A and B are shown apart, each in its own frame.
Chain A
Amino acid sequence: MSKVIVVTSGKGGVGKTTSSAAIGAGLAMRGHKTVVIDFDVGLRNLDMIMGCERRVVFDFINVIQGDAKLKQALIKDRRLENLHVLPTSQTRDKDALTTEGVKKVLDELREEFDYIVCDSPAGIERGAHLAMYYADEAVVVTNPEVSSVRDSDRVLGLLNSKTALAEKGDGSAVKAQLLLTRFDQNRSANGEMMSVEDVLEILAIPLLGIIPESTSVLKASNEGTPVSLDEKSPAGKAYMDAVGRLVGEQIEMRVNPGEQRRGFFQRLLGRTA
């Protein structure tokens, strides 16, 4: 059965699109047929991060409005057989997203794909609301920083109340997991940055992964390559671990999966999601 996963955060700039691209590519690498949808109408960026910006012809809004068929708007990734991108419109505004339209497109995608990753815009308005509304699971992207954690808490409240699953009223809920990004083990150890445990204590949701602050993330975005395709990168490895957990595997939590020479970086947390 296919799964709709929203990647959300409330706060902007914490790594939602980077994470959507990395998770989408990671799922595809594991053989799951995956589509990543950009919900940020008017500020399209997923196409750039995934390196298909020159191939956008039709978009999500064209499909919702019946101007194009879904298969015309889907862009097939050139690196990974199982990966597709559904770009959004750069010109319309977010009112072009309708609840019925989003449902129709997601229902059609569910027939063909194993995983549907919804890249939410920042904020909690229409685009963000609709990105999470039909989700089965949520990846809450959070930086170990006060405003990001606060906004994530707000988003968790919305996931528990303003989604199709929550509105069923039968105890169903979107399964939300934390993806802690831009984490710096040294600064955390020095007490300059909240620890993983601090953030988990506040948000009280399972931990999906810890993505270390890494230079490879900017490089990947410069080149339009999902960072999970960079096998040498600690961030890429951490995303692949997170993807493994997302599909239900037990993978031990490592803070810096890349830095194997330096034992103290490798402090195991003894925690699984």
Chain B
Amino acid sequence: MFGFSFRQRKPSSAQTAKERLQILLAHERSSGGSNPDFLPLLQRDILEVVRRHMEIDSDAVDVKLERSDDLSSLEINIELPYAKQLKRA
């Protein structure tokens, strides 16, 4: 996936700096300066919903965020209590 690129030349470090800032500031401005402060709340809500159906540990939720220029992805991993046993079976 990273094997080829449409860019013809390696960008200068100044160009890299500008692009990094543009991506970062677009996110910071669009959230009105309130960066992903909703994430702790989101995590709490997810835990609560999942707990209605099964018992899970509060450590079992892992939230990851990856931002790029045209796409941000939020990755939520929930470790199920019997996952280890399932893998063995």
A interface residues (Cβ-Cβ under 8 A, vs B): 48, 53-58, 62, 67-69, 72, 89-91, 218-219, 221-224
Query: In the complex the two chains form, is B14's CB within 8 Å of A222's CB?
Result: yes
A48-B20, A222-B14, A223-B16 are contacts. A54–B39 as well, Cβ < 8 Å?
A: no
Bound Cα distance from A56 to B27, whole angstroms:
12
Partner pick for B16 among A67, A68, A90, A222, CB 8 A cutoff: A222
**A165, chain B: closest CB distance, angstroms:** 33
Bound Cα distance from A57 to B39, whole angstroms:
7
Hey, which chain B residues are within 8 Å of A219, CB to CB? 13
Query: In the complex the two chains form, is B40's CB within 8 Å of A68's CB?
Result: yes
Query: In the complex the two chains form, is B67's CB within 8 Å of A69's CB?
Result: no
Query: How does the 8 Å CB contact mask read for B57-78 relative to A, with 1 for contact and 0 for none?
Result: 0010011111110000000000
Q: Could you give 18 example pairs across A and B, Cβ below 8 Å?
A: A48-B20, A54-B23, A55-B67, A57-B36, A57-B39, A58-B39, A58-B63, A62-B39, A67-B40, A68-B40, A68-B43, A89-B35, A90-B33, A91-B33, A91-B34, A91-B37, A222-B16, A223-B17
Say yes or no for B28: interface residue by CB 8 A criterion: yes
Give 10 new A-B contacts, CB below 8 A, not counting A55-B66, A91-B33.
Answer: A54-B65, A54-B66, A55-B65, A219-B13, A221-B17, A222-B13, A222-B17, A223-B13, A223-B16, A224-B16
Bound Cα distance from A218 to B14, whole angstroms:
9
Say yes or no for B24: interface residue by CB 8 A criterion: yes
Bound Cα distance from A90 to B16, whole angstroms:
22
Bound Cα distance from A270 to B34, whole angstroms:
52
Hey, which chain A residues are within 8 Å of B36, CB to CB? 56-57
Query: In the complex the two chains form, is A55's CB within 8 Å of B59's CB?
Result: no
Partner pick for B24 among A53, A218, A222, CB 8 A cutoff: A53
Bound Cα distance from A46 to B79, whole angstroms:
31
Hey, which chain A residues are within 8 Å of B65, CB to CB? 54-57
Query: In the complex the two chains form, is A48's CB within 8 Å of B64's CB?
Result: no
Hey, which chain B residues are within 8 Å of A224, CB to CB? 16, 20
Hey, which chain A residues are within 8 Å of B64, CB to CB? 55, 57
Query: How does the 8 Å CB contact mask read for B24-46 relative to A, with 1 for contact and 0 for none?
Result: 10001000011111011001000
Query: In the complex the two chains form, is B59's CB within 8 Å of A69's CB?
Result: yes
**B81, chain A: closest CB distance, angstroms:** 17
Top 8 A-B pairs ranked by shortest CB distance?
Answer: A67-B40, A222-B17, A222-B13, A54-B67, A219-B13, A57-B65, A90-B35, A223-B13
Closest to A47 in B: B24
Hey, which chain A residues are within 8 Å of B24, CB to CB? 48, 53-54
**A141, chain B: closest CB distance, angstroms:** 22
Bound Cα distance from A57 to B73, whole angstroms:
11
Closest to A220 in B: B13
Query: In the complex the two chains form, is A72's CB within 8 Å of B63's CB?
Result: yes
